[in-house]
Structure 1
């Protein structure tokens, strides 16, 4: 079989005792590392474990689904250079192509549940929301930038002495 690679894939360490197993034993550090509670992690895991994107049709072993979920939570919860594919690959002892593949699989599985969790508000609910916004307004948030803007950087410097963009998200 002829395959093409930009670089030869490294051997994925599937059976290695993983940091995630250790994290499950550490009460305080799990939430910080995974950006969710253990119950939240287990709920998401159980919800997506039977999704068709995790069915393995090759001779290669795949990482356990819990590791795949941990990997994407690490990537999505990181900012700046720590969220780069290469950095996540190093942290999880996998190839960069594996990170990209896992990211696609997990996002596909999570997106398949959107109808169950996301709904457009009906006209009554929209009216209620409008009343609250007109009465109280709503807070904005800031999104930190990983580097200084090249142009008019003083505009992006906030009261916390961080370069950021202000936003109001509905």
Structure 2
């Protein structure tokens, strides 16, 4: 199968079309650089082999492209074609980046203290806009959605999004 990498376009998109960068990787270029800076020193990206790994930036781009797409577009074969690499390279990049991110869990995941002022405001907002069954919960969204495999039994209409799919919103910050 012919593979022509589209990775070189990301640099052009960063400078001239940030919306296209976001469309491909689902993060702003500055967020990409921030994540890259936090995971680049991880030992998983070091090896003593004669076969060098891809640069961490390319591994992160491959991971984000796959994580940010749904259905057929996220299959390793399709990601491999987009990136111009082998399927095994896509799998390895995904594993490497995932391991680095999981080791940085406390820097990437922040849960507000239940008694904090921010948590109280978030709970009040959530309660004013959602069903009573979600009381005492916090929910934030930036518009990104994660499609659900099947319809939910309770409150299924609450999960019906603007694109006529059942999904959950998520926030990455």
| Partner deviation per Cα, 1:120-149 (whole Å, 9 max, x = no partner) | 433412872585157514479864358xx6
> Residue 159 and residue 115 in structure 1: after superposition, are their counterparts in 2 closer, same or farther (change >3 A)?
closer
Q: List, as ranges, runs of 4+ consecutive aligned residues in structure 1 with deviation greater than 6 Å.
A: 139-142
Residue 93 of structure 2: aligned partner: 102
What TM-score, normalized by structure 2, do the two folds share?
0.67
Q: 2:128 aligns with which of 127, 131, 136?
A: 136
User: What TM-score comes out, normalization by structure 1 length?
Assistant: 0.68
Between Structure 1 and Structure 2, whose CA radius of gyration is higher?
A: 1
Give secondary structure in 1 for the equivalent of 2:115.
helix
> Alignment RMSD, CA only?
3.6
Deviations 1:45-95 (A, max 9, x none): 111111111002211121111111110111001011000111111211222
Q: Distance in 1 between matches of 2:33 and 2:68?
A: 17
Corresponding position of 1:111 = 102
List alignment gaps of at least 5 residues for structure 1: 1-12, 150-154
| CA displacement, residues 102-129 of structure 1 (integer Å, 9 cap, x when unaligned) | 1111011111111123244334128725
Structure 2 gap segments, 5+ residues each? 131-138, 151-155
Classify 1:164/1:66 alpha carbon distance in 2 versus 1 (closer, same or farther; 3 Å): same
Name the residue aligned to 1:9: none
Are residues 1:30 and 2:21 paired?
Answer: yes
The answer to whether the Cα contact below 8 Å between 2:146 and 2:169 also exists between their aligned partners in 1 is: no
Report the 3-state secondary structure (helix = DSSP H, G, I; strand = E; otherwise coil) of the residue aligned with 1:162.
coil
